[in-house]
Chains A and B, each alone.
Chain A
Amino acid sequence: MAGDNILKLNPLTKITFAICLSISVFFADYPYALGCFIVLCFIAGFYRILKDYLIMLLKTLFIIIIFMFILQALFYPGHEIVWQWKFISIKQEGLMYALSLSSKILVIGGSILLFFKTTHVKDLVSSLEQVGLSPAFAYVILSTLQIIPQMEKRSRQIMDAQRSRGVETEGNLLSRAKAFIPSLGPLILSSIVGTEERAITLEARAFSAPVKKVRAHVVKETPTDKWLRILFISLLILFMIWRVVLWII
């Protein structure tokens, strides 16, 4: 995973950063949020994944943001008309609102994506388990993660089976949907039957044995992690106080 040899931080530290940053954008205007986004890009650059990261943002957030800009610009109530064509008009207020909203989305979405791009989910779950997440819950997350690629494979197999029986699985959206929906049946069924057996499977492997589990996969927690978390949270609190005081006076 990206940055494995660059900076090994505990996932909890990274997620604290992402959450603090996301909260902070609600206490300032869009220039601040855009500044935060640039910071995120710098971090991505530091982890040597800037290109991947930006492509991913383009594919996910960009579409949402464009869509929102159009909606807000056209329909947000306002008087200062920037551009008009027949009955369609773009208003200054709408643009500002869209800018403020989308910059926040950019930071929130961007920090979550950056978090997952630099962290194994397995590490995240392990670190959560180390601070008290129940092993059963951890198991559910991990097994789901393992099973998703299997489900994809199965759904491809089912689609292939459908196709070989002459069901149209390509072409336009409608014909693909028509092919896909019947394939859900066996897929869901086989997954549910799976979960029923799961509990017994786990018991066969002594999952609820009355002893303390040992995990071979442990995520390190260094003093740096602790100090960084304290730093992020204190910075957030100071920032919030500062903004609120400014706002009151």
Chain B
Amino acid sequence: MDYLIEIQQVTYQYPTGEKPVLQDVSFQIKKGEFCAIIGPNGSGKTTLCNAIRGFIPHFYKGELHGDVRINGKSIKDQTVGELSLQVGFVFQNPFSQISGVSETVFEEIRFGLENLGIDTVVAEKRVDEVMKLTKITHLQDRNPFELSGGQLQRVALASIIVMEPDILVIDEPTSQLDPEGTEEVFEIIRLMKEKQKTIILVEHKMELIAEYADHIILIDDGKVILNGNNEEILTNEKVLEHNTLLPQYAMLGLELRKHGVNLDRIPVTEKQAKEELTKWFAQEGQIYV
């Protein structure tokens, strides 16, 4: 099996840091996969994203051992400019994503396309489409500096997906969004997956990860603790030992199991929880009723 992204024994220390922030991190991501990275604050998730995008080592100096390969090619051998054609990066802080040269949201989203040398007519069409997709058409004439955090987070996402990179690295895109906005963002990410994009998402909202992600990586203190498919990780109680939550349905399942309720499997999504509980009620629920 060929992997699109290969992280090989990456150890990295910031120039100002005292100890490595990433320690011997290795994993692979397949093309078209939706991979969620979870872990507590300060565990190195953003740093890992920076390494995948090539900002480490191209912008952040410091000691980097090991290698990150995209399409079989080391990021060290590519310029950030070349990488920008393949990997889109949505920052954790949407304020640091605004270019600062645009007077309107429309121009802001178009900025990346100008840099990619896309013809103006085509670019405007793409901007319109992406604004519709991210539901920000009504903001198109506003000054990006005057948007709320949640609005800006949508603009930041739009201004990256409009560039249509094959790989999307998205760092906590919903931290400032309300529940509805969060669902919408996940819906957009799902659409991207349908378009065969490979997605790496850092996120804390476990119910949504359970719903959408294929592959989950738990990191803590710069080390990969768990690496596996969705259900494998989200039903693993070990996750809780690392200051990270499990989806509430999995928690429920685990709790029920502890109390002797014999579920066939631990559910991770709402749908699975319903199925499992209905099945269980049908079998032996009546005893308790």
CA distance A143 to B102 in the complex (A): 8
Is B115's CB under 8 angstroms from A206's CB? yes
Q: Quick check: is A79 within 8 A (CB to CB) of the other chain? A: no
Contacts of A194 in B (CB 8 A): 96
What B residues does A212 contact at CB under 8 A?
A: 117
Asked whether, in the complex, the Cβ of B55 is within 8 Å of the Cβ of A210, the reply is no
User: Is A209 touching B84 in the complex (CB atoms < 8 A)?
Assistant: yes
Closest to B84 in A: A206
Per the bound structure, the CA–CA distance linking A194 and B119 in Å amounts to 30
Whether, in the assembled complex, A150 has its beta carbon less than 8 Å from a beta carbon of chain B, the answer is: yes
- Say which residue of A142, A146, A213 sits within 8 Å of B115 (CB atoms): A213
C-alpha spacing A197/B99, complex, angstroms: 10
Say yes or no: B81 contacts A206, CB within 8 Å.
yes
Of B79, B84, B120, B159, most A-chain CB atoms within 10 Å: B84
Q: Does B115 lie within 8 Å of A205, measured CB to CB?
A: yes
Interfacial chain B residues near A216, Cβ < 8 Å? 107, 110, 114, 120, 123-124
Q: Give the Cβ gap from A29 to chain B, nearest Cβ, in Å.
A: 45
Task: Check A146/B80 contact, CB under 8 A, given A205-B159, A216-B120.
Answer: no
Give chain A residues whose Cβ lies under 8 Å from the Cβ of B160: 204
Q: A206-B84, A214-B118 are in contact. Are A201 and B112 (CB under 8 A)?
A: no
A216 and B53 alpha carbons, distance in the complex (Å) = 27
Contact yes or no, A211 B117, CB < 8 A: yes
State in angstroms the CA–CA spacing of A15 and B165 once bound together: 41
Asked if residues B84 and A203 are in contact (CB atoms below 8 Å), the reply is: yes
In A182-214, the 8 Å CB interface with B consists of: 194, 197-214
A70 at the interface (CB under 8 A from B): no
Instruction: Determine the distance from Cα of A223 to Cα of B98 in the docked complex, in whole angstroms.
Output: 37
Q: Is the interface of B mostly helix, strand, loop or mixed?
A: helix
Q: Does B1 lie at the interface of the complex (its beta carbon under 8 Å from any beta carbon of A)?
A: no
A147 at the interface (CB under 8 A from B): yes
Count A-side interface residues using an 8 Å CB cutoff.
Answer: 27
Is the pair A207, B91 in contact by a Cβ cutoff of 8 Å?
A: no
User: Does A139 touch B at the CB level, under 8 Å?
Assistant: yes
Residue of B nearest to A193 (CB): B96
A206 and B103 contact, CB distance less than 8 A? no
Contact for A143 among B88, B99, B113, B115, CB less than 8 A = B99
B55 x A205 contact (CB < 8 A): no
Within 8 A of A (CB), among B85-116: 85, 88-89, 91, 96-103, 107, 110-116
For A209, list chain B residues within 8 Å (CB): 81-82, 84-85, 115-117
Interface string of B64-85 (1 = CB under 8 A from A): 0000000000000001111011
Q: Does A59 touch B at the CB level, under 8 Å? A: no
Q: Please name the residue on chain B nearest to A211 by beta carbon.
A: B117
Cα–Cα distance between A204 and B116 once the two chains are bound (Å): 12
B281 to chain A, nearest CB (A): 50
25 pairs across A/B with beta carbons < 8 Å?
Answer: A142-B100, A146-B100, A146-B102, A146-B145, A147-B100, A200-B59, A201-B99, A203-B81, A203-B84, A204-B84, A204-B88, A204-B89, A205-B115, A206-B115, A207-B115, A208-B81, A209-B82, A209-B85, A210-B81, A211-B115, A213-B117, A214-B123, A215-B114, A216-B110, A216-B123
List residues of B whose CB falls within 8 A of some A CB: 53, 55, 59, 79-82, 84-85, 88-89, 91, 96-103, 107, 110-120, 123-124, 145, 159-160, 163
Q: A146-B145, A206-B85, A214-B119 are in contact. List 9 more A-B contacts (CB 8 A).
A: A201-B97, A201-B98, A201-B100, A204-B84, A205-B84, A207-B81, A208-B81, A209-B81, A216-B110
